[in-house]
A and B are shown apart, each in its own frame.
Chain A
Amino acid sequence: MEAKLKNESVNRVILEAEHIDFSYDNGYKVFENINIEAETGKFIAIIGPSGIGKSTLLRILGGFLKPDSGKIKLMGKQLYEPTPEVALIHQSIVTFPWMTAEENVMLSMKTKNMSRNEMVEKAKVSLSRVGLEGFEDLYPKEMSGGMRQRVAIARAFAANPHVFLMDEPFAHLDELTAEGLRQDIYNILFSGETPLKSVIMVSHNLTEVLELADEIYILNNIPASIIGRVEVTMQRPRNPRSDEFNSNLDMLYGYLTPPRNKR
């Protein structure tokens, strides 16, 4: 088994969550003492049962929600609110239907001091990066789900983020499209052509997580806390049909499913 529990502290941390506690308005405590670190060049996955609060945690990491206590730090500086340096990619495919693919991508540059020509140029680069060269003038409703998710990713890229927060980004796609996009996305993420340094993805799809992640944080219990941190050291590209992959999968299932009584 290549994966092993990781205990040692890490360096070159880009985004970190320190002692995060969070409750909903009705007083329900969602998280208790959550600690997460995302290093440069690492693809981090957060897994946990449905309803545990994975998407909420991602929004706390992005500054969209304020924790009751604890801190989020981006490259050592405390993060108080959403910033283009930490881009959130949603589970539901969020494209603006009244804008073309190019205009959707240009949206993330509107607050920057850039001329329209510069924005158009950069949007074209971002779209071609996700394989949408030649589709700049299409409206989202003229595109497939996979293409629209690529537009959303291109929009996130165009903001030059250091960290990507991905909230089950392949959940609404069919298996074949998701598989193709997963591979493409991984290759783009760390191609070195962008300032992107790290990715944090939440998912309940363990196969997807094992295919992509370098480190996996496991959320469980009520209120949710990190019950384990796994480093995945399998060689890439990873083959979901290999024995090694399956044994890693079994280990993750072990974390998430309660032990069954033997008959």
Chain B
Amino acid sequence: MNELLLIILGVLATAIQVIILVILSIISGWFLAYASIKSKIFENIYIIFIEIFESVPVITFFPVVLIIFITRIGGPLGTQLATDFLVFTAVVWNIWMGEYQAFKTVPNEMVEVTQNSRFGLFSKLRYLYIPFSIPRIAANLFPSVSDGFFYITVSEVFTVGVHSYQTFGVGSVLDTFVADANLHAVYLTLLILGIVIVCVILILREFSRYAVSKYTLDTDAPILKRGRLNIKETTRIFAAISKNPLSRLSRYYKYRENERHEEKYEKKEKKKKYYRYGYGAIAILLLILILYESVSLVLSVKIDEWYTLFNGTGYLLYSLGYDYLRVLTILLISMVIAIFLGYYLAVHKRAEFFGIPVIQALSSYPAPIYFPFLFILTEPYIIGVFGGFTNELYVLFLGFVSTFYYVLYAFWMGVKAMPGEYWEITKNLKLGFFKKMRKVILPSTFPYLISGISSTINSAWGGLMIGEYWPDIYGTHSLEIHTGLMKTIDLATANGNIALAAWGSLIFGIIVAVYSVVFTRRMMDVAQEKYVAEEGVYSS
């Protein structure tokens, strides 16, 4: 096949897959969000599910994906589904959460207008809930598409033990060119991918602008916070009670009519109740399926293997400690850059006009694609300066480029959303940069910062997963660090030791979920209670 055509097809296949999976996330999210506002059982299960999976990095799913799709389904279909599932899990959670939050915050007055006109499910979705969720979807599209590109290029080619699996896309095309040492084709692929990503980003920017200008609420109807309404909704019906037999007789026909209405109403209420139970049943069924899969997975591992896994847990936790130090380093660097650059972009319109699209395009350009070339070009110099610390530096770099933009965007948005009065006060008091930052800007952007920090931490793991063990980047050159849980999981996967990979991922998932509950959520609560200026928490 013509080389250029192959590249274009590969890039388009990747881009289209990402876009289709994002669209799938959006559509499924609408129905799930609607089900969750209609059924408390469904909502409770759904939200716990999203919150855990949103806080657990996507790479946690890798071994599970391998087991389900590669070993059970197998063949090209299994490989394709594995790739799609990984990308889906990368893009889906924040879109689903955004849609749920949007549905939950639809002003009651607007819901009452649709009730007044007796709208059914699809009319409500079409005319109210879906349009209302568009700005939040637009806000979540940038990180979702960036993550989608990042993970699809990683998961298009992967190795388990002696088996290598690949699906058609830019990752596999590039892999072929690298194997053939066809550098011309490699650079052309990178260029075309860059052009496609810039186009996608430009389209998303236009869409965001359109979404904000058209769909943002302009009414003064109060926006509900997440949570339950405080209005009693009883479904009791009172039978018509007459005072005496005569009046009962005289009003017989009237009551007959009322009874018919009551019957109709009762039927309708019953139907609603069935729907609620239906949503709840679906949620419970999903929960049972997940539990069943988990239990059968646990049972499939032999006792002595469990013994080995338990014995190795201490080392896994020790390795995770190393990784947390790396994440902390990445976070600190990202925050320093975010605070200075984000502030600069927010207060300089010209810089913002040019800077934001460039950063958006750069952040969407998947690091796994361009990193090997950067590595080839810089490794000799970096080794000369940093010696044995070189690989560590590259891993930190990979973690940084895969995540820094979250906290940057969040802080930039926070500064932009600061009430004008705050700026006037800082001018009035003639506060210097650092005092202004400490006393006004950081506290008022706190909810945004916490949200950005949380996403940055979650995404940093992706970079570590790729960087901690990357064999044969070119020639015999590999990237490998001394200790790290991500390296252990990578190595186990590459050696076909799925049990260890899955156990490591489970330990990792539990620690991250616990961390999310005890730290991130608490910080969000503090942000909400103390630092929220207007709708900071919700819009961030």
Contact = CB atoms under 8 A, between A and B. Distances in A.
Contacts of B238: 69-71
A66 B217 CA distance: 29
B123 A64 contact: no
A110 B110 contact: no
Contact of A64 (B110, B115, B216, B217): B115
Contacts of A78: 240, 258, 261-262
Contacts of B2: none
Contacts of A25: 230-232
Interface string A60-78: 0010111011110000111
B482 interface: no
A178 to B, nearest CB: 15
A133 interface: no
A159 interface: yes
B232 A24 contact: yes
B424 interface: no
B235 A66 contact: yes
B221 interface: yes
Contact of A97 (B116, B214, B268): B214
Nearest to A95: B219
Most buried by B among A65, A94, A98, A156: A98
A66 B234 contact: yes
Interface string B143-170: 0000000000000000000000000000
A93 B235 contact: no
A13 to B, nearest CB: 14
A76 B251 CA distance: 11
Interface string A68-106: 111100001110111110111010111111110000000
A242 interface: no
Q: What class of interface size applies to chain A in its complex with B?
A: 35 or more
Contact of A84 (B117, B234, B257, B258): B117
B127 A77 contact: no
Contacts of B230: 24-26
A15 to B, nearest CB: 14
A166 to B, nearest CB: 13
Contacts of B432: none
B131 A94 contact: no
A43 to B, nearest CB: 20
Interface string A38-76: 000000000000000000100100101110111100001
Interface of A: 22-26, 56, 59, 62, 64-66, 68-71, 76-78, 80-84, 86-88, 90, 92-99, 107-108, 110-111, 139-141, 148, 155-156, 159, 172
Given A25-B231, A88-B116, A93-B219, 16 more contacts: A56-B231, A59-B112, A62-B116, A65-B232, A66-B236, A69-B238, A70-B238, A81-B268, A84-B117, A92-B109, A92-B219, A94-B113, A96-B110, A97-B215, A111-B123, A148-B219
Interface of B: 107, 109-110, 112-113, 115-120, 123, 127-128, 131, 134, 214-222, 230-238, 240, 254, 257-258, 261-262, 265, 268
9 contacts: A25-B230, A25-B232, A66-B233, A71-B238, A80-B261, A81-B265, A82-B112, A90-B221, A140-B218
Nearest 10 A/B pairs, CB to CB: A80-B265, A92-B221, A82-B115, A97-B218, A94-B109, A98-B131, A90-B109, A141-B218, A92-B220, A66-B234
